[in-house]
A and B are shown apart, each in its own frame.
Chain A
Amino acid sequence: MSARKQGDGQPEDGGATAGKRLKIAKFSEDPEKKGLSRRLKDAEISLPIVYGTIAFYLGRKASESQSHKWTVYVRGATNEDLSAVIKRVVFQLHPSFNNPTRVMEAPPFELSECGWGEFEIAISLFFHPDVCDKQLDLYHHLKLYPEDESGPQSTKKPVVVESYDEIVFPDPSEAFYARVQNNPAVIVPRMPAGFNISAPAPENTSERERGDTKDHPLSQWFMNFSEADELLKLAAARQQPFMEMIYEN
């Protein structure tokens, strides 16, 4: 992906590859490794993601061993492209599947399969070197059968289970920050005025493949996660009259 290449092709070329082990040291004297070893202290970059499964009952085409077709995926919460941060995703399926370890190297990070059983899928996220050298593991239970057991299953309406979460990167490296500061998928902190890191030259959008899921075939089923809703409920709870008692006496 050209985006990635741009990121790695920062002026400190030698440093970018050599300095993969990111140091915690705030300011390295060595200008070559600046981009990777300089970290933004007390700042965090967060990446809101949604991960989950959508399962369709196959109806007439169902067999004993393959009654459902399901897709497990990791997408950006706003359906933006995650590939600037995530390098690859590994889905670990039930051992009864062929090659239960499925690796997705490019967005959209998803996997479709047919099966009959529900099990826990382990999703491992691997990030680009300047982002984080550790993987992050998520777990998701594949749900095939709807809650409501009344009547036959519909082939039109899938069983959707999604979880919203945010991946937080504390003390991100400057290179990472520079790369993603204008990325719509990423939440970056606002830096004080005068803090300028030059972003790499914008890629030619037509050249790279679309990694976002805005027009994904399954996007109609994606759940809406409204933060506002939750915030409202929380605020209302805190405002409850009896909660004010704690401030008196």
Chain B
Amino acid sequence: MDAKDILGLPKNQLPIPQEKKSRPPKEPQRKPDGISREVYALTGGLAPLMPSVDVSQLKRRPPSDEKVTWQWLPFTNSARKDDLQLFHWVRVVNGVPPTGDYAFAKYNKSANIIKYTDEEYEKYLTDPAWTKEETDQLFDLCERFDLRFIVIADRFPSSRTVEELKDRYYSVSRALLSARAPPADITGHPLVKEPYNISQEVERKRALSMVLSQTKQQERKDTEVLAEAKRITESRMAAKGPEESELPAVANIGPDNSQRAITGDAVTPSTAMPSSAIAASSTLMADNASTLASLRMLRVYLRTYALDQMVQAASASAGLRTIKRVEQTLQELGVNLKPKVPTKAVCAEHLELRKEILTLLNLQKQLQYKEAEGTSFQDSPYSETPGTPKRAPRGDQDRPFMPDPLGFGGDRFGKRDQKRKAPGRTSEAAQSPSQSKRPRKMKASDI
């Protein structure tokens, strides 16, 4: 059965040693150091990247020749400026207390504040908005509080904003730097490379606070607008591109624009725009808007093409059968499926006609459905259809129910085509929506 047979390769002559080989590798797996077998299995049979615990250390005991005691001893902290002496427990080995500074003293870092002399101040650092006194105070606070400007602003005697303080501090430092060192050396210094921009900072913080305090609604609106803007720029880029204009995914440039496009084209001398040309529902308008938008992206198009697109857009929600029925109706009315003279007016009329037919057919369909529901209530004398009415499973309380008079349906629908069923009552008000759907024991026509 081997592929090797087919390929003519020599079979592996020693299957047995293979089995033996597979066994030994398992052995070491069974005796890992320090970690139990199950834990190894958890990690997928692989060793962990880093040993979690140095296992060899676990069972180590302190060397027995050492004598360890714990003593309550005083200590000083080199990080402190005063000479405060405190006490703590110290591990003493063989009577020798540990040496060295307090272990945590090394963490006492502070910021490097540039100090200036009075002459330097006079020469480089004077500023109309800042007195020397204030600047001195600022620098003192900076040193004390390690450039924590929030705290410094709090403590600052006169009220200055954080940005002002920062600005003053950084500009002074920069001036000092550039004064003391030759310019070539310090161009890499962050203070020089990216100077503090106070107006930008103020603006940025203001924007941040605005974003923070946005209501949810505002946020949603913003995202919508941004998405819209992105789409528009994308569509512009697409249209700017070479020959073939890709039809961008512009859903809605806004119904307003499209309205203007349709109605804004002025009456030309040779054609008369019928005033009732635009009577579409809002969803159809949305479809239209996107088709129009995509048409406008093309630099040039034929009106028949445009009409096709619009027809497609309008019929997008309809199934194939409905479209066929629309076309059938058009033919019955004596209208060409594709206008022979597709001028602007003709195309508009044609489109409107199609839409109206579509609406008509949809309404008829809806009516049919409602009737189908309604016929289940009918007593036979009221029913005009000779066939069995549809039996929808309803509750039992329907027999005494008196249906509405036929009048509203009969006359108007007289001229319909033969696909219609008899008009029934569509008064759904009488039906309670919460009727149970238990199958009825008696049929409606049994009454």
* Residues in A lying within 8 Å of B, measured CB to CB: 22-24, 42-44, 46, 48, 127, 131-134, 136, 138, 164-171, 187-191, 225-227, 229-231, 233-238, 240-243, 245-246, 248-249
Interface 0/1 of B289-321, CB less than 8 Å to A: 000000110111111101000000000000000
Which of B240, B304, B346, B412 counts the most A-chain CB atoms under 10 A from its CB?
Answer: B346
Interface SS of A by simple majority: mixed
Q: Would you call B261 and A190 a contact (CB within 8 A)? A: no
Within 8 A of A (CB), among B346-371: 346, 349-350, 352-353, 356-357, 359-360, 363
Please give, as numbers and ranges, the residues of chain A lying within 8 Å of B352 by CB-CB distance.
Answer: 238
Contact B268 A42 (CB under 8 A): no
Complex Cα distance, B382 from A235, in Å, reads 39
Tell me if B264 counts as interface (CB < 8 A to partner A): yes
Tell me if B356 and A132 are in contact (CB < 8 A): no
Q: List 20 A-B contacts (CB under 8 A).
A: A24-B236, A42-B261, A42-B264, A44-B265, A46-B303, A131-B300, A132-B299, A133-B299, A134-B243, A134-B300, A136-B302, A166-B302, A168-B303, A169-B299, A189-B264, A189-B266, A227-B270, A233-B336, A238-B353, A245-B360
Given the complex, which residues of B lie within 8 Å of A165, measured CB to CB? 302-304, 342
In Å, the complex CA distance between A91 and B133 comes to: 89
User: With A and B bound together, what is the CA distance between A123 and B360 in angstroms?
Assistant: 40
User: Contact check: which of B271, B274, B341, B363 meets A225 at CB < 8 Å?
Assistant: B341
A133 vs B267: C-alpha distance when bound (angstroms):
27
Asked if residues B342 and A164 are in contact (CB atoms below 8 Å), the reply is: yes
B260 and A164 within 8 A (CB):
no
Chain B 226-243 per-residue mask, 1 if CB under 8 angstroms from chain A, else 0? 000000000010011001
| Interface membership of B394, Cβ < 8 A | no
User: Is residue B416 within 8 Å, beta carbon to beta carbon, of the partner chain?
Assistant: yes
Q: Contact residues of B with A, CB < 8 Å?
A: 236, 239-240, 243, 245, 257, 260-261, 264-268, 270-271, 274, 295-296, 298-304, 306, 330, 333-336, 339-346, 349-350, 352-353, 356-357, 359-360, 363, 412-413, 415-416
- The smallest C-beta distance from B274 to any residue of chain A, in angstroms, reads 7
Task: Determine the distance from Cα of A46 to Cα of B416 in the docked complex, in whole angstroms.
Answer: 40
- Are B303 and A166 neighbours in the complex by a CB distance under 8 Å? yes
Specify the chain A residue showing the minimal Cβ separation from B408: A249
Contacts of B274 in A (CB 8 A): 235
Task: Determine the distance from Cα of A12 to Cα of B144 in the docked complex, in whole angstroms.
Answer: 68
Does B341 contact A226, Cβ atoms closer than 8 Å?
A: yes
Q: Which residues of A contact B239 (CB under 8 A)?
A: 24
Q: Which residues of A contact B363 (CB under 8 A)?
A: 245-246, 249
* B302 adjacent to A167 (CB under 8 Å): yes
Residues of A within 8 A of B268 (CB): 187-190
